[in-house]
A and B are shown apart, each in its own frame.
Chain A
Amino acid sequence: MRLLGMVLAVTLGCVSPSAGSAQAQGDGPLRIEITEGVIEPLPFALPVFQAETADAPGLAAQISQVVSADLSGTGLFREIPATAFISTVSNFADPVQYADWKAINAQALITGAVAVQGNQLTVKFRLYDVFSGAEMGSGLQFTGTPDGWRRMAHKVADAVYSRITGEGGYFDSRVVFVSETGNKDARQKRLAIMDYDGANVQYLTDSSAIVLAPRFSPSGDRVLYTSYETGFPRIYVLDVGSVQRRVLESQDGTMSFAPRFAPDGQNIVFSLSQGGNTDIFAMNVAGGGATRLTSAPSIETAPSFSPDGSQIVFESDRSGSQQLYIMPASGGEARRISFGPGRYGTPVWSPRGDLIAFTKQNSGRFHIGVMRTDGAEERLLTASFLDEGPTWAPNGRVIMFTRESQGAGGRSSLYSVDISGRNLRPVRTPDGGSDPSWSPLQK
């Protein structure tokens, strides 16, 4: 027995120096796969930006508030109240006490400073990943005039949003919509434009004629809309800067409506109704004749370009019920993409090109939904008495739409919802609102 022990000892002694490392190298690290996570707002801390000049405290507080509201309003972030803070940020250049922010579970920390010198406003900020103990990107500074403080706050929020999520923001953008006042039977409508969050509302037309369906140009400098100024629907193009407008060429005895810009900003598509039949046409916004894209006895309307301009999605009742179709931008054979129960309408292609938003009517309720461009993965995001007219945020993450309440005193208002169906919330407007169209990010 003793001999056996000696033999084993010699044998193991020969191999033992390499045994441990061999096992580690052979087996390697422990490997696990994580496939389930959580979806919850990311907690962030935003101490009020430091005022670096004597007349900056007011603006610093307002800018901090707008940045915080922008981020919280997405539903992706949650602000930690200042009463929970352990640390204070007394100087923009001071090092961050990560442990204090970890203790309150702040996963992102935003610090900033504001300075006013004459007619120049400077806003700078830094973003920190608290649990990694590192700054996310470099500090960034914006300069402008004091009256543009809201836009600068939106730009700070866009930068923070983009750095954390990895996709573009949408806060420094505007929305053109139809402002509505009065009861349903005598409603007055006029075009209005505002910041994405409902601030800075300005009116582009008076309420002497009914206006419908405004649509921003890809550069955000012009708006197409339909007006009943002549008694028949006609398409107008309006310059946002000068508020000058002109009617696009149209034929007598026809009705033209549902216009939308092509991604190049030079051409438009629209519906033209003639002799009881409605088809889709294209034309150059500078003038010239219209080109027919569809030719069917059914109603074809609500065209919307794909972001690359190669295809058009539209609604048609050629199959007997209102469904969505996609055709080449030059016209031609269309393929149906909606096959669910109910009726589909007002399709809008996402700026990212991956989804199509639509209105759906089924079982007495209206929905805003999204589907892939081949019709797959349809998902209904809302449900109400009347939801319609979706429009995409510049980053393709959020949809704004019209919701009308039931009854004679029903009111139209604007709502927004994340494409996941979360974060459904009303958009504040002074009066009722409908037909929103989201602009691209401002330069």
Chain B
Amino acid sequence: MHTGHYISGVGHVALIGWLIFGDVFAAEPLPFEATTVSVISGSEFAAMVAAGRAPQSTTEVAQPSSPEVTPDAPEIAATEDPVAGQTPPEQAQTPATEDAPDVSDLAALPQADVSDQAPVLPDPPADVAVLVPEVSDRPVPQAAERVAPEAIAQPDPEARPDPVEQEAVTPNASGETQQDPAEATAPEAAATEIVTEAEQPSAVPLQSARPPARRPDPPVQQAAQPVEAAEPAAPAEDTTEDAVASALAEALAADSSAPAVPQGPPLSAGEKDALRVAVSSCWNVGSLSTDALNTTVVVSVSMTQDARPVTSSIRMASSSGGSEQAARRAFEAARRAIIRCGAKGFDLPVEKYGQWQDIEMTFNPERMRIK
């Protein structure tokens, strides 16, 4: 019954005894260098330090006695060293003297205009007390009337303020343009957060390294070329790919009642982000109440195929976090953002129209409350 206990007890006793008497943990001391020190008293230390100090000058100093000089100098016998066996060194040849260079063509140095008059120096500035500003460890952004997700430098004064940046379109020499003439537009200067008077400005980049989103130029319409009647093609070789493709085409063509809406693959993260940034640049929450800034609204909108919002389709799908009045104000700000920045069409891929024909945008101002 207790066999296990007995075995365990014996084993433990053996282990403990081995640890005590077996000298298991006795390790050789690590090598080290020892320096002999001696303990001295305070008075001895003071005396030792005093001995090392420079002596103080005193006026009465015992003069050393002059050394005794013996009147008779010892005689020194001069003897010649033996030179036998040594040969004199050979005389080195002197190099031939070089001809002096011809300096007749050199122009004479101009006469330096040196005046004896001392130069007149400007008056030194008067003494001015300079207040050293308090330096904060935390970089503080530049103040600007407009606060935006990304800092924007002062735009070209010629450019008309507009959320969508656009270069000016002017007629060429012949007075023709491929686009309608338009003036340049640029977003207004902006900071990334509100900077109060209590915060000191510091050197921060005025413009994001990220290039601003720019709409691609519209495709140039080519003049329609007459198409020659093509001869009937020879029947292609029957392959699996052709069979699948033709089957898909036939199947999709069978639903002839529905309008042709290109579905395309889902929008990429970059395409969604571009849409998000575009709407953000027009979503102005500066005039919203604090209650409205606590309200998240979901806004649904239908889009035309040229990526413009259908104004009449914009409606509030839901809201949360605030009163009904606050939700209404928050919705109005969201609607303005969609209409304003969508007036020229969002940058969305036409071939994926089916993916963004209907959009639900959630406007969440949580991060804007702490700007």
Interface residues of A (CB under 8 A from B): 1-2, 4-6, 8-9, 12-13, 16-17, 19-20, 23-24, 27-42, 76-77, 102, 105, 107, 129, 131-133, 136, 164-167, 352, 354, 363, 367, 369, 379-384, 397, 417, 420-422, 424
Contact = CB atoms under 8 A, between A and B. Distances in A.
14 contacts: A8-B243, A9-B247, A12-B247, A13-B254, A24-B354, A32-B361, A34-B364, A35-B368, A37-B149, A37-B365, A39-B148, A166-B289, A167-B291, A397-B290
A165 B329 contact: yes
Contacts of B146: 38-40
B305 interface: no
Q: Is the interface of A mostly helix, strand, loop or mixed?
A: mixed
B240 A32 contact: no
Interface string B333-362: 011110110010000000000111111111
A112 B145 CA distance: 29
A295 to B, nearest CB: 36
A40 B147 contact: yes
Contacts of B355: 30
B332 interface: yes
B289 A39 contact: no
A16 B252 contact: yes
Residue among B161, B243, B255, B329 facing the most chain A CB atoms (10 A cut-off): B243
Given A16-B254, A382-B196, 18 more contacts: A4-B240, A5-B246, A8-B243, A8-B248, A12-B252, A24-B354, A32-B359, A34-B283, A36-B368, A38-B286, A76-B287, A131-B339, A132-B335, A132-B339, A164-B329, A381-B197, A420-B371, A422-B194
A379 B196 contact: yes
B7 interface: no
Contact of B371 (A16, A23, A39): A39
Interface residues of B, number: 82
B250 to A, nearest CB: 5
A38 B281 contact: yes
A19 B300 CA distance: 23
A383 B251 contact: no
A166 B243 contact: no
Contact of A1 (B240, B329, B358): B240
A39 B238 contact: no
Contact of B325 (A28, A132, A166, A382): A166
Contacts of A28: 358, 360
Contact of A39 (B147, B247, B266): B147
A384 B190 CA distance: 25
Given A41-B145, A166-B326, A166-B329, A34 B336 contact: no
A236 to B, nearest CB: 35
A4 B243 contact: yes
Nearest to A37: B283
Contacts of B207: none
A433 to B, nearest CB: 19
A131 B332 CA distance: 10
Contacts of A35: 364-368
B311 interface: yes
A42 B190 CA distance: 15
B162 A105 contact: yes
A161 B361 CA distance: 27
B194 A2 contact: no
A258 to B, nearest CB: 25
Contacts of A12: 247-248, 251-252
Contacts of B364: 33-35
B279 interface: yes
Contacts of A397: 290
Contacts of A76: 286-287
Given A24-B354, A37-B365, A42-B284, A380 B198 contact: yes
Contact of B336 (A32, A107, A424): A107
B204 interface: no
Nearest to B356: A30
Nearest to B239: A1
Interface in B167-189: 188
A96 to B, nearest CB: 15
Nearest to A18: B255
A40 B198 contact: no
A28 B358 CA distance: 8
A379 B195 CA distance: 11
B263 A23 contact: yes
A379 B371 CA distance: 11
Contact of B282 (A1, A31, A38, A41): A38
B140 interface: no
* Chain B CB within 10 A, most for which of A33, A38, A397, A422: A38
B261 interface: yes
Given A35-B367, A36-B280, A38-B286, A8 B261 contact: no
Contact of A38 (B190, B276, B290): B190
Nearest to A418: B194
